[in-house]
Amino acid sequence: MKTETTQEVLAKSEPPISLKQHIDECLSVYESLQKAFGRLPVNDLNRFWELVRLGIVFHDLGKSHTEFQKMLEGKRANWYHQRHELFSTPFIDRLDLPEEDKLLLKLIVAGHHKDFSFLFDHIQHGYKTGEDSLSYGEEGKLDWGEETRKLNEGFIQSFLKEYRVSLNPNSLALPLQLVKDYLRNPVNSTNINFKELLLAAGALKQCDHSASAGVFSVNVLEEKHFNFLYETKWAPYFHQKRASEINGNIVLTAPTGSGKTEASLMWLHKQMQENGQGRIFYILPFTASINAMFERLDEKMQGNNEIVGLVHGKLAEYIESRFGEETYSWQNEKLKHELKENFRALVTPLKVATPFQLLKSIFGLKGFEKGIFEMSGGYFIFDEIHAYDPEVTAQIKVLIEFATQFLNVKVCLMTATLPTFLKKEFSDAIGKCEEISADAELYQSFIRHRIKVTDGLLSEHIEAIQQRLNAGNKVLVVCNTVKQAQNIYNRLNVSKKVLLHSAFNGADRNKKEAELKSDEVKLLVGTQAIEVSLDIDYDVIFTEPAPLDALLQRFGRVNRHRVNGQYRPPCDCIVFSERNEVDKYIYQNEEVINRTLGALREIESKNSGVIAENELQCYIDEIYPKWYDKDKEDFDRVYSHLKADVWENLAPFLYDSHREEEFEKQFDGVKVLPAILKKDYQRLLEANQFIKAESLKVSVSKQRFASLISKNGIQRDVTVFQLLHKEEIREQPCYLIHRRYDDELGLQPEVEEKDKGAVIWCIV
| Co-location of 197 and 238 in the same domain | no
Please give the Cα distance from 590 to 575 (Å, whole number): 16
| CATH code of the domain containing 198 | 1.10.3210
Opening angle at CA 498, ends 495 and 504, nearest 5 = 150
| Co-location of 729 and 580 in the same domain | no
Please give the Cα distance from 287 to 510 (Å, whole number): 11
Task: Tell which of 158, 178, 212 closes a domain.
Answer: 212
Q: 65-89: per-residue pLDDT in tens?
A: 999 999 999 999 999 999 999 999 9
Chain CA centroid to CA 132, Å: 46
Task: Tell which of 442, 475, 504 closes a domain.
Answer: 442
| Domain presence at residue 646 | no
Please give the Cα distance from 33 to 37 (Å, whole number): 6
> Is 60 exceeded by the pLDDT of residue 642?
yes
Domain extent, residue 62, equals 10-212
| Domain presence at residue 516 | yes
| Domain presence at residue 203 | yes
Please give the Cα distance from 87 to 424 (Å, whole number): 52
Helix residue spans in 624-697 (DSSP H): 629-649, 657-665, 678-686, 690-694
Cβ-based neighbours of 119, under 8 Å, separated by 6 or more: 83, 86, 110, 111, 179
Contact call for residues 691 and 736 (beta carbons, < 8 A): no
DSSP, collapsed to helix, strand or coil, labels residue 303 as coil
Residue 222, strand partner residues: none
| Co-location of 50 and 149 in the same domain | yes
Residue 702 has phi, psi (to 5 degrees) of -60, -35
| Co-location of 49 and 104 in the same domain | yes
Opening angle at CA 203, ends 19 and 223, nearest 5 = 115
| Co-location of 589 and 684 in the same domain | no
Task: Categorize the per-residue pLDDT at 584 as very low, low, confident or very high, splitting at 50, 70 and 90.
Answer: confident
> What pairing do the DSSP bridges indicate for beta strands 475-478 and 540-543?
parallel
What's the distance, Cα to Cα, between the start and end of the chain in Å?
A: 55
| Co-location of 438 and 453 in the same domain | no
Cβ-based neighbours of 639, under 8 Å, separated by 6 or more: 394, 395, 397, 398
> What pairing do the DSSP bridges indicate for beta strands 250-253 and 17-18?
unpaired
Q: 489-516: per-residue pLDDT in tens?
A: 999 999 999 999 999 998 898 899 889 8
| Co-location of 205 and 246 in the same domain | no
Task: Categorize the per-residue pLDDT at 312 as very low, low, confident or very high, splitting at 50, 70 and 90.
Answer: low
Please give the Cα distance from 737 to 727 (Å, whole number): 31
Which pTM does this prediction carry? 0.89
Indicate the number of domains in the chain: 4
Nearest to 92 by CA among 15, 8, 173, 179: 173
Please give the Cα distance from 270 to 263 (Å, whole number): 11
| Co-location of 405 and 302 in the same domain | yes
Contact call for residues 142 and 83 (beta carbons, < 8 A): no
- Phi-psi group of 98: left, alpha or beta (phi > 0 → left; psi -120 to 50 → alpha; rest → beta): beta
Opening angle at CA 367, ends 362 and 369, nearest 5 = 60
| Domain presence at residue 631 | no
| Domain presence at residue 145 | yes
| Co-location of 207 and 232 in the same domain | no
Contact call for residues 514 and 506 (beta carbons, < 8 A): no
Q: Which region among 314-328, 429-443, 688-702, 729-743 has the lowest average model confidence (pLDDT)?
A: 314-328
Mean pLDDT on 532-537: 73
Q: Which region among 71-80, 196-205, 211-220 has the lowest average model confidence (pLDDT)?
A: 211-220
> Is 70 exceeded by the pLDDT of residue 166?
yes
Q: 259-270: per-residue pLDDT in tens?
A: 899 999 999 999
| Co-location of 461 and 572 in the same domain | yes
Greater confidence (526 vs 329) lies with: 526
Q: 426-484: per-residue pLDDT in tens?
A: 999 999 999 999 998 898 888 899 999 999 999 999 999 999 999 999 999 999 999 99
Nearest to 314 by CA among 507, 180, 579: 507
Greater confidence (77 vs 320) lies with: 77
| Co-location of 242 and 194 in the same domain | no
| Co-location of 208 and 228 in the same domain | no
Please give the Cα distance from 251 to 434 (Å, whole number): 6
| CATH code of the domain containing 548 | 3.40.50.300
State the pLDDT at residue 347: 84
Q: Which residue type, as a one-letter code, is found at position 206?
A: Q
DSSP output for 181-227 = HHHHS---TTSTTHHHHHHHHHHHHHHHHHHHTT--------GGGGT
